Chain A
C-alpha cells in the first residue's frame, strides 16, 4: 500500500499493465522522450522501447485512427490525447468509427483501446486547456466512459478499461492529478466499469457527481453536518454505462437529488440522470431535481475571476444542498 497522487496511480497502473501484457502499447504526442506533458508515461520509453511507446506526429486524427487500426490486429493501444481540448480532430475516429466497430461489423471486429483524456479546468487553462468533453461521448452508443476521482479508483478502473475488449474513454481530471492523493494497494485489483460508488452514505439528500467536483461535494457534505443535513454522495466513476440501480435506490431512500458537474448544464450527464430518475423514481421524489453545473458558455475563461465564476465550488454546492434539503 502506497499513498499516491492520481497521476502517480495512473502511471503505475499503465506500467503494470504494459509489464503484464505485451499487446499493450501507448502512443501520443510527447509521451516518449518527454514522458507525457503530465508525466503519465515517464520512464516508459527506456523500459518498453520505441515500438511500444510511440511518440506520434502532432496529429490527433491519426493518433486515434492508427490506434483503432492497431486494435483490429492483436494490440491493445492506449492513445493519449494531450489535452481534451485537442481531441476534436480525432473525433471522427472515436465517434464515427470506434464506437461503431462491433455494431457495424455485426460483431466481427472489436476495438480494445483505451483513449486517455486529461480534461477539465480550474487550472487557469482558459478556453483551450480546460474543456469538459464528456457529453459528446456520453451521447454515443458503443463507447464506455470512465471518470475516476481518486487514485484508488483510477487504478481499478484503468485496469478494467485496458482489459476490456471495447473502446473505453478514460477521463482524467487534470486538477486531481496532483491535488488528490490516496492509498493505492500494490496488488492487482480492478473496479468494474458501469458501477458507481457511494463515497458518503446519508439519509436526507442524494448528490451525484464525478471527477474533481466529487471532492467539492464531499467537502460541502462535511460542512453541512453542522446544519444536520445528512447527504449521500454518489461518485458515478463510470458515465457509460450509468449505474442506474445505485442512483435510483439512493433517490428512493432520500427523496431528493442534486447532480453536480463542471461540464455545461445543457445536455450534460445531469440532464440524462434527471430524466431517468423522473421516469423510474418519480413517486419517491420530495422535491425538484436540481443541477449545479457549468453555465452555457464554451468553457471556463482564463481570467481568475471568470474561471471561478464558471466553476461550481464547495460553497455553491453547500448552498444548493441546503436549499433543496429545506424544500
Chain B
C-alpha cells in the first residue's frame, strides 16, 4: 500500500493492491480504523443497554443507532482544534463515548449507580454534564440547551476565548421557540457557534411533514443570518469534511447551521414502539443508511482492514462491555445521605 499526498486536492491518496481511496486531509487509515472501533463500541453498548432494559436492569435508554457517524465525524473534526464545547441533547451516546468516557462509566450512568460521571444518578443516563470533557447538558427539555449554548458562545467571544460552541438538537427541537431565539441571537452577535441538527425526520412519532412545511431545517438559516450546510450524516467522511468547514466559519465568528440527515434505526426510547407509526418496509430499509455498515463497507472494500481483524475488534468490544457491565452491576447505588447535596455551590 502506498500513501501519496495529492498536491492538487490536498488529499492523501491511498493506493493499495485492490482499490484506491482518497481520504480527506488530516485523515489516515489508522484514524478511520480508530473511529470504526469507537463506533462499534458505541453500537455494542447501545444494543447492550437496550437488552438490559428488557431485562429490567436499565430503566430507560435513548438509542443512538443511526446517529453515530454524525457525532464521531464531528469529533474527528473538533479534535483538530480549536477547543470545542458540546451542548448535547439525549441521543448522543457516540459523542459522549467519543470524547473519552469509558464503557464502565457509561454503564454506571445507565444503571444509576455511584460513580455516574454525569449526575451521580440524579438524572436519566448521560444527562447532567461531563465538564472535564466539555459536555454540558442540563435537561431533557428540547431546545432549552440551545439558548444556553448561545450564551456560552457569547461569553467566549466577550472574553476573547478562542473556542467554538456546538449545539446539538433534533428535528423535533427545531419547532421550539427557543430554537428560533437561539439562532436569531447567534446571528445578531456573530457568535462562534455551530448548530447541529441531527435530523432523523421523527419527533418521537410525528414525521417531519407534520413538523414543518419545508424539506430541510437548514432552509431557515438565511433568515437568521447563519451559514447553512446540509449533508448526509451517516457518511463519516462527509461529516468530517463539513464540520471542518463549519468550525473554520464559527471560529471566525460566522455562526453556522449544519443539518445532518440521519436515520433513527431504533424507536425513540426503550419505552417506545415505532411499529405503531412507521411502516415495516420503512423500518427494514433503515439498515441501508446505517453508518456503521457504511463505514465497515468502506474499510473492507478498500482493504483498509480484513474480515479477520474486524471480527477480532468485535470480539474485543464485547469483552470490554462484558467487563464494564459486571463492574457496574456490582457497584453500589448512590448513598442516600447525598440526597440533599449540591443544591447550591459555595
Contacts and interface: CB of A to CB of B under 8 A. Distances in A.
Interface stretch (A37-45, A61-69, A149-157, A259-267): A61-69
A228 B184 CA distance: 62
Q: Report, nearest first, the 7 A-B pairs whose CB atoms are least far apart.
A: A69-B151, A65-B147, A69-B148, A62-B181, A73-B155, A107-B342, A66-B151
Given A97-B148, A102-B343, A70 B131 contact: no
B141 A97 contact: yes
Contacts of B87: 69
A101 B138 CA distance: 7
Contacts of A59: 181, 184-185
A66 B155 CA distance: 9
Contacts of B127: 104
Of A56, A92, A110, most B-chain CB atoms within 10 Å: A92
B110 to A, nearest CB: 16
Given A59-B181, A96-B141, A104-B128, 5 more contacts: A65-B146, A65-B151, A70-B151, A107-B342, A108-B131
Interface in A259-298: none
A250 interface: no
Contact of A108 (B128, B146, B153): B128
B155 A109 contact: no
A73 B138 contact: no
B138 to A, nearest CB: 5
B129 interface: yes
B277 interface: no
A159 B342 CA distance: 23
B128 A73 contact: no
B119 A104 contact: yes
A77 interface: yes
26 contacts: A52-B158, A57-B181, A57-B184, A61-B178, A61-B181, A62-B150, A62-B184, A66-B185, A69-B148, A69-B153, A71-B151, A73-B152, A73-B156, A74-B159, A75-B155, A92-B141, A97-B144, A102-B342, A103-B122, A104-B123, A105-B119, A106-B118, A106-B122, A106-B341, A109-B131, A142-B343
A93 interface: yes
A173 interface: no
A136 interface: no
A68 B151 contact: yes
Contact of A62 (B85, B185, B346): B185
A52 B148 CA distance: 17
- Number of contact residues on B: which range applies? 35 or more
Contact of B152 (A25, A72, A141, A142): A72
Interface string B306-346: 00000000000000000000000000000000000111111
B71 interface: no
B177 A61 contact: yes
Interface in A125-162: 141-142, 144
Given A70-B154, A142-B344, A108 B148 contact: no
Given A57-B188, A165-B345, A97 B139 contact: yes
Given A57-B184, A96-B139, A109-B138, A65 B343 contact: no
A100 interface: yes
A62 B128 contact: no
A81 to B, nearest CB: 15
A51 interface: yes
A106 B158 CA distance: 28
A166 interface: yes
Nearest to A56: B185
A69 B155 CA distance: 8
A234 B31 CA distance: 68
Contacts of B122: 103-104, 106
Nearest to A77: B151
Given A104-B138, A108-B131, A109-B138, A93 B147 contact: yes
Nearest to B177: A61
B158 A51 contact: yes
Contact of B343 (A56, A62, A141): A141
B185 A70 contact: no
Interface in B135-188: 136, 138-139, 141, 144, 146-156, 158-159, 161, 177-178, 181-182, 184-185, 188
Nearest to A107: B342
A47 B223 CA distance: 33
A170 B119 CA distance: 28
Nearest to B120: A106
B119 A65 contact: no
B128 A105 contact: yes
A144 B343 CA distance: 11
A68 B155 contact: no
B184 A165 contact: no
Nearest to A55: B188
B120 to A, nearest CB: 4
Contacts of A74: 155, 159, 161
A67 B138 contact: no
Contact of B346 (A108, A142, A165): A165
B150 A69 contact: yes
Contact of B150 (A65, A107, A141): A65
B146 A70 contact: no
A166 B128 CA distance: 17
Contact of A102 (B120, B139, B159, B344): B344
Contacts of A102: 342-345
Interface in A73-93: 73-75, 77, 89, 92-93
Nearest to A79: B151
Contacts of A142: 343-344
B119 A106 contact: yes
Contact of A65 (B120, B144, B161, B345): B144
A69 B159 contact: no
Interface in B238-260: none
Interface string A206-240: 00000000000000000000000000000000000
